[in-house]
Structure 1
Amino acid sequence: MSGDSYYYGDHVTMHGGAGNTGIVKNQGAAQPAPDPALAAALAELRRLIADLRTRVPESSAVLLDESAPAATAEGAVPAQERHRALMAVAGIASMVGTVGQPVAEAVRAVIGMING
Structure 2
Amino acid sequence: MSNNYYYGDNVNMYGGQGNRGIVKTQVGTGAGQPDPALVAALAELRGLIAELRAHVPAPSVPLLEESLPAISADAAVPAQERHRALLAIAGIAGTVGAVGQPVAEAVRVIIGMISG
Common fold, TM-score beyond 0.5? yes
Cα contact 1:68–1:89 (8 A) shared by 2: no
Question: Percent identity among equivalent residues?
Answer: 69
Tell me the amino acid that sits aligned with residue 90 of structure 2: A
Output one character per residue of 1:65-89: Cα deviation in whole Å (capped at 9) or x when no partner.
Answer: 111221x211121111111111100
How many angstroms does 1:32 deviate by? 3.5
CA RMSD of aligned residues (A): 1.2
Give the drift of 1:114: 0.6
Unaligned runs of 5+ in 1: 1-29
Q: Which is worse superposed, 45-54 or 32-41? A: 32-41
Q: Deviations over 1:17-71 (max 9, x none)?
A: xxxxxxxxxxxxx72332111110000000001110111111111110111221x
Larger RCO of the pair (alpha carbons < 8 Å, separation 6+): 2
Q: How many residues were matched structurally? A: 86
Q: Does 1:60 align with 2:60?
A: yes
* SS of structure 1 residue aligned to 2:55: coil
Runs of 4+ in 1 over 6 A off after TM superposition: none
Give structure 2 stretches of 5+ with no counterpart. Answer: 1-29
Give the TM-score taking structure 2 as reference length.
Answer: 0.70
TM-score norm. by structure 1 comes to: 0.70
Which is greater in Rg?
A: 1
